[in-house]
Amino acid sequence: MTDDEQSSELDVDRPALADQRGVDTVYGASEDSHLLAEAAVEGAKEGERALDIGTGSGYVAGALAEAGVDVVGTDLNPAACRQVHEAGISAVRANLLDPIRADAVDLVVFNPPYLPTDPETEWGDWMQAALSGGEDGRAVVDPFLADVGRVLQDDGRAFLLVSSLTGIDDVTEFAGEQGLNSSIVAEESFPFERLVVLRLTVE
Ligand SMILES: C[S@@+](CC[C@H](N)C(=O)[O-])C[C@H]1O[C@@H](n2cnc3c(N)ncnc32)[C@H](O)[C@@H]1O
């Protein structure tokens, strides 16, 4: 969406999701980013090819690059792509895995927008794209799960951040329906949510 389209949808009387979370146009690294980065680095090998979907500030991609992984970040948000590119990491503006050819990578990592969000409070700005997972929290997670197996090489793995707010069992059940095995490889609990990292492989 263009900046003009975004601002035309803004309602000045109500706080944007971005303001509610105290974050700027590009999602800054948070607890979820740290948990995913640690698990991804642990599960990666030097020289492997990786995609960081929804790369945001590029925090997870940067951690993989430091570990010697050949990583490309993707994001819908052009400002995120610019920021990551300026940090020296390749970035592509894309919806999820759309432009990626089959069997292209060893590793895919994704910290998705996952907060269940009432349509009434949807905003139409880039922070909504970073945070809102639609009514059930899985509006972006489910299409990702439906396609990720296609881009993974035979021994490929995906690492997906999931919150208890999104429904961890619902996500693993849908992953199974897409022919993916899943296991929890990292977790952290907070007063309001439990975060886990799922390791996904093609059955
Ligand atoms: C929770 S933020 C995570 C950012 C970063 N990976 C991190 O861990 O700090 C989610 C990111 O996904 C991006 N995003 C949302 N929907 C997307 C889609 N359909 N395709 C690609 N990126 C998307 C958002 O713009 C945002 O940068």
> pLDDT tens-digit profile of 58-85?
999 999 999 999 999 999 999 999 999 9
pLDDT, position 9: 42
Tokens describing residue 192 = 């309001």
**29 in ligand 1 pocket by Cβ < 6 Å?**
yes
Cα–chain-centroid distance for residue 8?
Answer: 27
Report how far ligand 1's centroid is from the alpha carbon of 160 (Å): 12
SS3 195: strand
pLDDT, position 128: 85
**111 in ligand 1 pocket by Cβ < 6 Å?**
yes
pLDDT, position 24: 56
Enter the pTM of the model.
0.89
Report how far ligand 1's centroid is from the alpha carbon of 80 (Å): 9
Report how far ligand 1's centroid is from the alpha carbon of 90 (Å): 16
Domains and CATH numbers, the chain: 3-202 (3.40.50.150)
Stated as kind and residue range, the H or E segment containing 53 is strand 49-53
Q: Which is the closest atom of ligand 1 to the Cα of 161?
A: 8
Low-confidence ranges of the chain (pLDDT < 70): 1-24
**200 in ligand 1 pocket by Cβ < 6 Å?**
no
SS3 42: helix
